[in-house]
Structure 1
Amino acid sequence: MQYGFARLPADRHYIIANARAPRCLVDGGDDLPSSDDLVALSIMIASDRIVGVLPPDAAPEGVARIDLASGIVFPGFVDVHTHLDKGHIWPRRRNPDGTFQGALDSVKHDRKAHWSREDLWARMNFSLRAAHAHGTVALRTHIDSAFGQEDITWPLVPELRAAWKGRIDLQFSSLASADLLCERPFASKIAGLVSKAGGALGCVTYRTPNLTAALDNVFALASEHGLDLDFHVDETQDPESRSLAMIADKALATRFEGRIVVGHCCSLTRQPEEEQYTTIARLAAAGIAVISLPMCNMYLQERHAGVTPRYRGVTLLHELKAAGVDVAVASDNTRDPFYAYGDLDALEVYREATRIAHFDHPVSDWPRTVTAAPAQMMGLAQYGRIGAGRGADLVLFRARSWTELLARPQADRTVIRAGLAIDTTLPDYAELDPFVGPPK
């Protein structure tokens, strides 16, 4: 078993001294000494809570002191957009050409052939074990919810939530084409499943015929059942795909009271600049949050055999944030036809987003995109920050600066949950061989 590099007292009464943390994630961070958007601090732990944020050299009497030697501390990560039900099917169902359509077709065939209760439980639980070992404390997954699959997967939701209670706070969102939610008996069934699970009503708006009517139904259904909304939006390089603007207009017209998040939003980057800023202003006015999936979108978007990709699918995060739109980045798919890689490691997501979307020079408050921002989108304000009275859920790194943190995978991190260091041993892929087969 691996527990990282920091040895913590078993009685959960100690101080993590001489540490650094992202200034934007520390309650009262502006009052602490800082450099390069990192504050110097010590964190006092008692039982399962943080009871104090102190100067970096603090050494209270009678309290065990763990010197982090200027190492960086993050709060537990929050991954707001994942697909646990698709995870790890790559060994048995690859994407034949790496395209979006190839992914759709491959998953469709795999779902029909293999997505039993036993198969789903094995793969979803495996993914959660990896996320937990990497330091994730809350996660939302989309659940394919059409063509009868909803009757197999949604009954697993309460069991997964119970199995992971106290380790990962799980949320669930339906996933079906928006036009299917125009069919009243089916729509009511899905809304009932989501409502029972305390989840979000989700759907895909790309390639939806008569999207105006479909959005009317989706917003009415969410309002009727008191549900938040979670959309897969414009996952394409086609500038004519404008469902993002339509969602913003519908939210404003209906004065929708729930939370709305939109993922992907790739086509926004291909539209005229004036239209981009008009749409962004509408999103800000409607209070809609945007989630970018940089690794998956760069894998799928603009893929043509023998052609180097020019347009990569990462939406206008800097412009959105500057306009007051809350933004996050997330894992999306893991070792499936939509993305052949990944391990539900939010630090990897943040590292790649920094490189791809320039979350640096300055770092500013971009660390919020895998912590506090997605926590707010999920209505879980207790996560994503470091402060007195908050849970002692932290991730410790030897790295002392941003370049050290983002240059390596940080495989020796120490993950603290409720004041205790957890086992950070990652699950062995061979465990999935009975379900997905060995590598070919």
Structure 2
Amino acid sequence: MSDAARLDLPESGYVLANATVPSAVTSGTINHMGDGLGRADLLIERGEIASVAPCGLLVGRDDLPAIDLDGGLVLPAFVDMHTHLDKGHIWPRKPNPDGTFPGALTAVSEDRPARWSAQDLRRRMDFALRTAHAHGTAMVRTHLDSIPPQEAISWPVFQEVRRDWADRIEIQASALYGVESLLQPGFLDHIADIVRDAGGTLGAVTYMIEGLESSLDALFQAASRRGLDLDFHVDETADPQARSLRLIAEAALRNRFKGRIVCGHCCSLALQDAEEVDRTLDLVARAGIGVVSLPLCNMYLMDRQAGRTPRWRGVTLLHEMRGRGIPVAVASDNTRDPFYAYGDLDMVEVFTQAVRILHLDHPVGDWIRTVTVTPAQMLGDPMRGRIDAGLPADLVLFRTRNWNELCARPSGPRRVLRAGQEIGRNLPDYRELDDLMEP
């Protein structure tokens, strides 16, 4: 397979021959090689995966042209389950003054009321989605700042953008606000109705405030009445006394909540004693909660002090969670905004950095599920993030042949297929947003 020339892929059908496929993302038959990888041929017909078979079984038919991948790795299109498209790419006009969490909060609280018009949001969100699409992502959940009056702008824009992108990326949205907002009369019903009408997910940023348990009960009950799922930002702090993850799990069990629950960040858990960790994780497993870690953003924010080297990584306990059967994922989080100055919504970068930061290696095994199968299931679409017969041929093809090569060279050549056809990978130019960055 050439690195440069666009692949000539007949819509009627072809074979991707001699591919390396992770066993964790397919139920097809592959020739296992170790470390969760195997060799296979993929039959693509009319935009779908028609078959996954051991190498050689699908090659040789005159009516099926074959593209020899020479052992190149093939992954399903990615699922980025925790992003902030409404904040993305405001760094040039509103950088974080010191890289800290309080600095990020202040910067965003100043930029939002001054600059987040419908036009501003729409352009920045579209720029971000074009980037994610070019990198190979097919499903995204974004959190939307929903503090009045911003909710009246952001949710209609989200619905417009979702319609515009429906044939390229499936986009979900979750409401974002501090948990103390639930104490304001009428706020919860107001935002829950907006979320229901937009087909979104309810949520909150949780931390240890007085009356947190009763606020969580009200939130769970409001979601239940409207048939909504829940997605929380949880304990994004270095304070070991921040234990709202446990309180969320207790509230889920207490209220017999039937919907899906996701908790993001959960940073403080890594600083708590073993007894508290065991107690919390037992409850999280019983409540059926999924956890998403945001390693790039939390490495950037957590334990940052001027003139002092950080002492911990800021990430949560993914190994311990997975050992208890808790679904775990990793995602991009913020992109070029005060909460994370960098990032490009590239799930290859997110995965390979997560392998390094969280030690998801020796072996890598099935950790690729954290950016494919598992987040898709947590977002309610169990057919995404897989390479199986009958599914759309939404694939990412690499020249690298194994996890070591991918993690050593994550920026190396890749091709993105959607419905079996290669898409252009020209990334949008930052200059497109220059007029939005003027003071």
Q: How high is the sequence identity, in percent, across the aligned residues? A: 54
Q: Report the counterpart of residue 33 of structure 1 in structure 2.
A: 32
**Greater Cα shift, 270-279 or 101-110:** 270-279
Contact 1:100–1:338 at 8 Å: present in 2 too?
yes
Instruction: Tell me the SS of whatever aligns to 2:186.
Output: helix
Contact 1:5–1:413 at 8 Å: present in 2 too?
no
Q: Report the counterpart of residue 351 of structure 1 in structure 2.
A: 352
Aligned equivalents of 2:398, 2:92: Cα separation in 1: 32
Instruction: Tell me the SS of whatever aligns to 1:108.
Output: helix
Q: Report the counterpart of residue 332 of structure 2 in structure 1.
A: 331
Instruction: Tell me the SS of whatever aligns to 2:365.
Output: coil
Q: Report the counterpart of residue 100 of structure 1 in structure 2.
A: 101
Aligned equivalents of 1:193, 1:53: Cα separation in 2: 43
Q: Report the counterpart of residue 74 of structure 2 in structure 1.
A: 73
Q: Report the counterpart of residue 24 of structure 1 in structure 2.
A: 24
Question: How much has 1:181 moved relative to structure 2?
Answer: 2.5
Question: How much has 1:437 moved relative to structure 2?
Answer: 4.0
Sort the Cα spacing of 1:90 and 1:156 in 2 relative to 1 into closer, same or farther, 3 A. same
Sort the Cα spacing of 1:51 and 1:95 in 2 relative to 1 into closer, same or farther, 3 A. same
Question: Quick check: 1:159 aligned with 2:157?
Answer: no
Q: How does 1:60-139 map to 2 (within 5 A)?
A: 60-139=61-140
Normalised to the residue count of structure 1, the TM-score between the two structures is: 0.96
Per-residue displacement from partner, 1:22-69 (whole Å, max 9, x unpaired)? 11111135x633322111001110112100001222313310101100
Aligned equivalents of 1:330, 1:152: Cα separation in 2: 25
Sort the Cα spacing of 1:420 and 1:247 in 2 relative to 1 into closer, same or farther, 3 A. same
Contact 1:18–1:40 at 8 Å: present in 2 too?
yes
Residue type at the aligned position of 1:215: L
Aligned equivalents of 2:145, 2:11: Cα separation in 1: 43
Question: How much has 1:157 moved relative to structure 2?
Answer: 1.9
Q: Report the counterpart of residue 312 of structure 1 in structure 2.
A: 313
Q: How does 1:19-418 map to 2 (within 5 A)?
A: 19-28=19-28, 32-57=31-56, 58-59=58-59, 60-206=61-207, 208-418=209-419
Contact 1:178–1:218 at 8 Å: present in 2 too?
no
Question: What do you get for the CA RMSD once the two structures are aligned?
Answer: 1.5
Aligned equivalents of 1:67, 1:319: Cα separation in 2: 40
Instruction: Tell me the SS of whatever aligns to 2:43.
Output: strand
Aligned equivalents of 2:414, 2:286: Cα separation in 1: 40
| Gaps in structure 2 of 5+ consecutive residues | none
Question: Quick check: 1:428 aligned with 2:429?
Answer: yes
Aligned equivalents of 2:4, 2:412: Cα separation in 1: 8
Instruction: Tell me the SS of whatever aligns to 1:33.
Output: strand
Contact 2:28–2:51 at 8 Å: present in 1 too?
no
Aligned equivalents of 2:219, 2:241: Cα separation in 1: 22
Residue type at the aligned position of 1:36: D
Aligned equivalents of 1:4, 1:158: Cα separation in 2: 37
Aligned equivalents of 1:242, 1:280: Cα separation in 2: 11
Question: How much has 1:4 moved relative to structure 2?
Answer: 6.2
Aligned equivalents of 1:277, 1:17: Cα separation in 2: 46
Instruction: Tell me the SS of whatever aligns to 1:157.
Output: helix
| Gaps in structure 1 of 5+ consecutive residues | none
Aligned equivalents of 2:5, 2:415: Cα separation in 1: 6
**Greater Cα shift, 292-301 or 306-315:** 306-315
Aligned equivalents of 1:242, 1:33: Cα separation in 2: 43
Sort the Cα spacing of 1:164 and 1:12 in 2 relative to 1 into closer, same or farther, 3 A. farther
Question: How much has 1:332 moved relative to structure 2?
Answer: 0.2
Per-residue displacement from partner, 1:245-265 (whole Å, max 9, x unpaired)? 000111111110000000000
**Greater Cα shift, 357-366 or 237-246:** 357-366
| Length, aligned pairs only | 436
Question: How much has 1:12 moved relative to structure 2?
Answer: 4.6
Per-residue displacement from partner, 1:146-168 (whole Å, max 9, x unpaired)? 13100111111221111101100
Contact 2:21–2:73 at 8 Å: present in 1 too?
yes
**Greater Cα shift, 136-145 or 355-364:** 355-364
Aligned equivalents of 1:208, 1:428: Cα separation in 2: 43
Question: How much has 1:362 moved relative to structure 2?
Answer: 1.0
Aligned equivalents of 2:128, 2:15: Cα separation in 1: 32
Aligned equivalents of 1:245, 1:4: Cα separation in 2: 51
Sort the Cα spacing of 1:40 and 1:5 in 2 relative to 1 into closer, same or farther, 3 A. farther
Aligned equivalents of 1:208, 1:293: Cα separation in 2: 24
Contact 1:45–1:51 at 8 Å: present in 2 too?
yes
Contact 2:295–2:354 at 8 Å: present in 1 too?
yes
Instruction: Tell me the SS of whatever aligns to 1:269.
Output: helix
Contact 1:3–1:423 at 8 Å: present in 2 too?
no
Per-residue displacement from partner, 1:126-162 (whole Å, max 9, x unpaired)? 0000000000000000000013100111111221111
Residue type at the aligned position of 1:34: M
Aligned equivalents of 1:142, 1:368: Cα separation in 2: 22
Residue type at the aligned position of 1:35: G
Aligned equivalents of 1:424, 1:215: Cα separation in 2: 43
Residue type at the aligned position of 1:187: L
Contact 2:128–2:345 at 8 Å: present in 1 too?
yes
Question: How much has 1:89 moved relative to structure 2?
Answer: 0.3
Question: How much has 1:220 moved relative to structure 2?
Answer: 1.0
Sort the Cα spacing of 1:397 and 1:437 in 2 relative to 1 into closer, same or farther, 3 A. farther
Per-residue displacement from partner, 1:49-108 (whole Å, max 9, x unpaired)? 100001222313310101100000000000000000000000000000100000000000
